[in-house]
Chain A
Amino acid sequence: MKPSYPVAKTLRRLLANAASNDRGVFFLFALYTIGAALLPFPPVVLPKLVIGELTGAARPEYLFYIVGGFFLVSAALVFMKDVADQNSYMRIARLRIDFVRDQFTKLIRIDYPHAEDDKFLDRYEKAFSSTRSNNNGVEAVYRSLFKAPAPALTVLALAVFIGMKNPLILAAIFVNIAAVVFIGRKVHAFRFGKREQLGHAERRKDYFLRTTHDFTYGKDIRVYNLRERVIENCRREIRGYVDILSVIAKREYLWGFLGLATLLLSDAATYGLLAADVARGMSIADFSMYLAAAASLSLYLKNLSAEITTVLNEGEYVHELFRFLDEDLYGPRGTRGPVEGDTLEIEFRDVSFKYPRGEKHIFEHLNLTIRKGERLALVGVNGAGKSTLVKLMTGLFHPTEGEIFINGVPIGEFEKKALYSMFSAVFQEVNVLAYTVLENVSACDGGDRARAEEALKKAGLWEKVCSLPKGLDTVLLKVIDEQGAILSGGEAQKLAIARALYKDANMVVMDEPTAALDALAEQDIYERFGELTKGKTALYISHRLASTRFCDRIILLDGARVAEEGTHAELMASRGKYCEMFTVQGKYYTQGAAGKGAKA
């Protein structure tokens, strides 16, 4: 039952974090502890005083003094407690969301291969869940640490008080609480043992709930009449998930019997022993007081143990969070600054690469040079490795074997940020973010408006931007601003091009940028390609071979290596795979252009 993580270290770090970020919360803590620790006592003492008066001197005025005094003391204590408690909520919540920011900052900077690893997020799931809500993880531990010392003091005082009267009662109460805590840990351990099963079932259930809540599945569900099947699967997964919960509930129920036994013991001891004391001459006033004290002791012991359990249980998640934040996930990095005032020449020397979870090599002993200032087209069938080449070249992924050189310098020597800054990349999936047009284009706060305008003009999107209500300052997407603008597929692509133009990096990379565009929009992009690549090395990837015609050289990737290379004319003459693909793709066009249909 020993906790499996360094509890003290974790708590110390949490407290240190609070101390360095928000001293005020400790003051509130002191106020709360005094108020909350003393608050149980007036209700314990009140019955004794009142009954004492009723069975003693029986003076009505004294009755009112007692009751009035009780009210004033209680009211004062409760004010201290509540004001301190509520005001601490937001401060503690802020400590949590600052951790969220820290997580965020890290995730956006870690080495890229982690981002494509779908196991990565799973592995750190506990860390991420620790900051997800007000009721668990970081915030739960802070709140429990805030609230626990008060009942601890109360319990101590009450225990001494009752113990002096009759140690047996004290013992019985402690045994009962010990049993409750023991059961709690047992159930928790059982549940922990089932967590993988539970996690599995939860993931399957959530898959169906997620996809069915996704409107984009609607067309296929209707056309292919998948309704019944999906509903059945969804319900089955929910049942499966709940069945595991039921097993856990049953275990808790069985353990509960132990708690019931000790409860019986504790209650019997309390009432029985106190009643016997009265029979031996204790006053009824004292009887009431000790009864109230015993009940309070039980209650506050339960509270205390609940808070301690919370700290122990949730603390584990906080530990995971700290582990995540401490871990070096930034990958290999160098110190060299970017290449200045020159475009790039990239050399792949004997490069082999396999994705971490992949089965086969994407590249095996690949040798390839992208010459300075040339426009290179990269073609190949799906899965040949075109996009992977880009990821290797820009330093997003790292070769398993071999070396990549940029202007003669090994890629590993460059500082990450410097390396990234050398490429203006346009990918197939355009990511329009819910920021302003200016921010999307400049990729920073406070971008240069004139430069952005220039970039948008060259990309052919300036007119559209002018037509928007706030021009460059219009927020895109509707998730942040209801009046936000939505761009069509073609417009989004142009935005990506504008972004690349704005950056004006040493080299240009375009990876399937026209897949979703119609013929005229596509032609438009091809024509602007020249703008984009003036004087710079450019890499263009597509499986639409027509785009290769405005490139200086073409490389065909096949079978994990460079299969063919040369100019378009050379490759057509050699009648290899490129020629085959080009002919096949162009066949219908050449036929059609000649006015012939495929159908006679």
Chain B
Amino acid sequence: MKAARKLSMFLTLAWEVSPAYIFLLLGSSLLGGAQLMANVVLPKFLIDELTGAQDPNRLFFWTAVLVGANWAFSFAANALKRHLDYRKIYVSEMLRERMAEKIMRVSYACLEDPEKLDLKERAVFAVTTFSALESMVNILATLTRDIIVVAGLLALMAMLSPLLVLLLALCIGLGLLFYGSIRKDQRTFQMSLIPINRQYGYYVSLCANGEIQKDARLYSMEEMMTRRVSDYNLQIYERSAPFMARMSIFNALIDAVNSLQAAIAYGFVGYRVLVPGTSGAISLGSFTMYVSAATGFTSSVMEMSMSLISLGQVLSYLEPYMQFMELPEEKDMSGVPFAGEIGEIRFENVTFTYPGSDKSVLTGVSFDVRGGEKVSVVGLNGAGKTTLVKLLCRMYRPDSGRILVNGRDLWEYDHASWMKAVAAVFQDYRLFAFTIDENIICSDAGGDLPGTGEALRKAGLEQKMAELENGIYSMLGKAYDEKGVELSGGEMQKIAIARALYKNAKLVILDEPTSALDPIAEAEIYEHFNSLVGEGTALYISHRMSSSIFCDRILVIDGGRVADFAPHAKLMEKTDGLYYKLFMSQAENYNISGD
């Protein structure tokens, strides 16, 4: 992505987030520039008076102007700072929020794409580790001020002598040459360090990773892990030290060039005082002014150039962020509104391969489910069961074939209305740090209390809610608020189930919903499955073969194809079938000296 484009994206985003900030930034730059200019020009008058008539009134006047002007600028800067500092942080944080919004709007396929995951990680890394967004803002501020100062001082010096400007420009050119030489070196170096830093970050973060602590101790992994961290320490140092040594020479050369500029300024203007040129003699006051202008000019130009280079650098850090912000969003998903009951769901020869993968997960899958039917989906890990769910939730489109609901292609329906009709409990479900009540109600503001209570009862949480101090208004989890309640894995799963039930959806999908529940709780869900789901259509995925018993039919998926689709009794007759094997391997364990 071109730098200009990245910059304009950044500015557009910042403007959207806080126009006031852009104005404040411009204002403070103008102010800074004006103050610098004032300090170049005003002393001239004081010095001219001091070397001239020395009239006490005029001396007092010019001193007062000089001191007063500086004071006024400082006052204004103080006032602006009051707003600028925290707004800068506001803009940074909001730009992160924008990224969060983007993540929620991109087409779902991006979220399961390892490339996009990596892009996001790199974007987040740049923003948090390099404070890329804040640097960006700082650089723009400095740059704007420098541009103003350079323009002003250039005009001033041109009045004295274009030759001076030329001489200084040569100096600046020399300085930039040195700077340019190290720049490529620096970029290569920093780029090479990024993956190492990420890996280093991974290994170091292991010590704070709660999940691995048991294993780390029981398997005495601490030496292996510590040594890895030490190795990386050494690696980072050994890579960096020679680079820093080179940098130091170049920085010294650049600073030496600065001294050269000061020498040239004094020398040239001083010579003009001694040997007046065609424009006449220069007073000592003017001497001071031009020398200040010259030194101010050179330092501002150097600063400006370095800001431009830093700008380029930070923009390259922000590249992943910008790329991510340009990802395609879920397209306009309007269509025919879905309403009423589900009469039939039909898969017609559906084939699907995950983007970036070479083998298809589903091949020529065809089956149809009648409205109100409860279907169990079984198969080995990786057979494609969860993929069916994702296709039904419109997270992916089939590569070929169609999915029809009530005779119409699923993708012709209006997205929002279809999502209203579906409720799912995924294997890796997620709950938020809202109140339990809000977690269940989701989008409806001020939900239907009896409905919430009913959903919780069906999920088996009535008693637990009664035990909690704030009942259903308890905040879930302590990550957000210390006063939140921590529930066990099984209780969380029940809340996820309650959330699905509350929705009163036409299609309920449950993917391993009882994995964390104990047998009694699990049995309760089974027993009441019909009343839980009601009249709606249901899809139930589980490794617990026992769950298939209470479903109307069982869809057996093997290697991405439909192996069977029939009621339990029928499937049990095929003693060489996959279903029979799966079922009996679990059932055997319950048949010894049991009932």
Contact = CB atoms under 8 A, between A and B. Distances in A.
A242 B419 CA distance: 35
Contacts of B99: 213
6 contacts: A64-B267, A70-B263, A213-B100, A252-B82, A253-B78, A517-B381
Contact of B59 (A82, A279, A582): A279
A241 B595 CA distance: 62
Interface string B181-209: 00000000000000000110011101110
A474 interface: no
Contacts of B103: 212-213, 215, 218
Interface in A442-492: 443-445, 478-480, 488-490
Given A118-B478, A260-B71, A381-B518, A586 B237 contact: no
Interface stretch (A155-163, A265-273, A304-312, A315-323): A265-273
B97 interface: yes
A104 B204 contact: yes
B75 A260 contact: yes
A216 B430 contact: yes
A579 B216 CA distance: 37
B71 A263 contact: yes
A329 to B, nearest CB: 13
A54 B586 contact: no
A583 B594 CA distance: 8
A189 interface: no
Nearest to B426: A219
B595 A590 contact: yes
B557 to A, nearest CB: 11
Contact of A79 (B229, B252, B260, B291): B252
A523 interface: yes
A563 interface: no
B85 to A, nearest CB: 5
A223 B213 contact: no
Interface in A472-527: 478-480, 488-490, 499, 503, 515-523, 526
Contacts of B4: none
Given A70-B263, A230-B104, A593 B550 contact: no
B369 to A, nearest CB: 15
A490 B381 contact: yes
Interface stretch (B24-32, B158-166, B242-250): B242-250
Interface in B84-112: 85-87, 89-90, 93-94, 96-97, 99-101, 103-105, 108, 111-112
Contacts, number: 471
A135 B93 CA distance: 20
Contacts of A51: 284, 287
A39 to B, nearest CB: 9
Contacts of A288: 288
B461 to A, nearest CB: 13
Interface in B517-564: 517-523, 526, 543, 545-552
A472 B502 CA distance: 49
Contacts of A208: 100
Contact of A216 (B79, B97, B428, B548): B428
A43 B266 CA distance: 11
A299 interface: no
Given A54-B284, A521-B381, A480 B202 contact: yes
B489 to A, nearest CB: 7
Interface in B388-434: 390, 393, 395, 416, 419-420, 422-424, 426, 428-434
B244 A87 contact: yes
Interface string A83-101: 1111101110110011011
Nearest to B87: A242
Nearest to A46: B266
Contacts of B213: 108, 112, 115-116
B80 to A, nearest CB: 10
B358 interface: no
Interface stretch (B146-154, B220-228, B339-347, B360-368): B220-228
A135 to B, nearest CB: 9
A515 B488 CA distance: 16
Closest 9 CB pairs of A and B: A546-B589, A586-B590, A86-B248, A212-B100, A588-B546, A74-B259, A115-B213, A82-B252, A253-B82
Contacts of A212: 97, 100-101, 103-104
Interface in B479-501: 479-481, 488-490, 499
A427 interface: yes
Given A264-B71, A284-B50, A443-B221, A479 B199 contact: yes
B40 to A, nearest CB: 13
Contacts of A46: 262, 266
Contacts of B438: 229
A98 B226 CA distance: 11
B275 A224 contact: no
Given A100-B204, A217-B430, A488-B381, 16 more contacts: A100-B229, A112-B214, A211-B430, A218-B108, A223-B422, A245-B85, A249-B81, A263-B70, A396-B218, A425-B214, A431-B215, A444-B224, A519-B583, A580-B520, A589-B586, A599-B551
